[in-house]
Amino acid sequence: MSLRMTFYLQDNGIVTSEIVVPEEYAGYPGMVHGGNIVAMMDEAAGRAVTGDEPDRFAVTSQLTVNYRLPVPTNQPLKVTGKLLKKRGKVAQAYGEIRNQEGELLAEANAIFVEIAEDFTEGIDPALMGWKVYEND
């Protein structure tokens, strides 16, 4: 069961998603499970790596997470991803989750490696729901 996040590419290259996580994704009552927290930041950071190139795919090679505060269910959250640097097929990116007040709840640093084009040949990113929308 996916969180079905929608990502938007901002003018500054940052990728954002706003989400209210339902209680079904809780670890403890009222708090998003840590695995779901990681998944949200990994997705945002990965989308920042691929940006507006939907035919480009990268996989997470390494991910370091810092949980700062409990991430609440049933409350608006902002998930952000930012490309930090890229060299060849390897990229470093950052993801974070903030609450409505702007408090940092969790953050992650990640290393991504691009997948070889022949491996992804014939894959339609649109059918997979892999899309980053232009900022509205």
Q: What is the CATH number of the domain that holds 102?
A: 3.10.129.10
Supply the pLDDT for residue 3: 86
Contact (Cβ atoms closer than 8 angstroms) between residue 134 and residue 11: no
Q: Does 71 score more than 70 pLDDT? A: yes
- Displacement of CA 74 from its chain's centroid (Å): 19
Q: Which of 27-36, 83-92, 115-124 has the least mean pLDDT?
A: 115-124
Cα torsion 74, 20, 59, 8 to 10°: value is -170
| pLDDT tens by residue, 39-69 | 999 999 999 998 767 667 889 999 999 999 9
The domain containing residue 93 runs over which residues? 7-125
Q: Does 122 score more than 70 pLDDT? A: no
Q: Residue 132 falls within a domain, yes or no?
A: no
- pLDDT: which is higher, 117 or 28: 28
Q: Residue 2 falls within a domain, yes or no?
A: no
Number of domains in the chain: 1
**Residues pairing with 64 in the sheet:** 109
Q: Does 30 score more than 80 pLDDT? A: yes
**Residues pairing with 96 in the sheet:** 80, 107
Q: Residue 108 falls within a domain, yes or no?
A: yes
Residue type, 73: T
- Displacement of CA 53 from its chain's centroid (Å): 15
- pLDDT: which is higher, 19 or 129: 19
Supply the pLDDT for residue 129: 59
Q: Residue 92 falls within a domain, yes or no?
A: yes
Q: Residue 61 falls within a domain, yes or no?
A: yes
Q: Residue 130 falls within a domain, yes or no?
A: no
Q: Does 80 score more than 70 pLDDT? A: yes
Q: Residue 21 falls within a domain, yes or no?
A: yes
Averaged over 110-117, what is the pLDDT? 86
Averaged over 13-41, what is the pLDDT? 96
Contact (Cβ atoms closer than 8 angstroms) between residue 96 and residue 41: yes
Residue type, 26: A
Supply the pLDDT for residue 72: 98
Q: Residue 131 falls within a domain, yes or no?
A: no
Q: Does 85 score more than 80 pLDDT? A: yes
Q: Is the dihedral of CA 83, 85, 90, 95 positive or negative?
A: negative
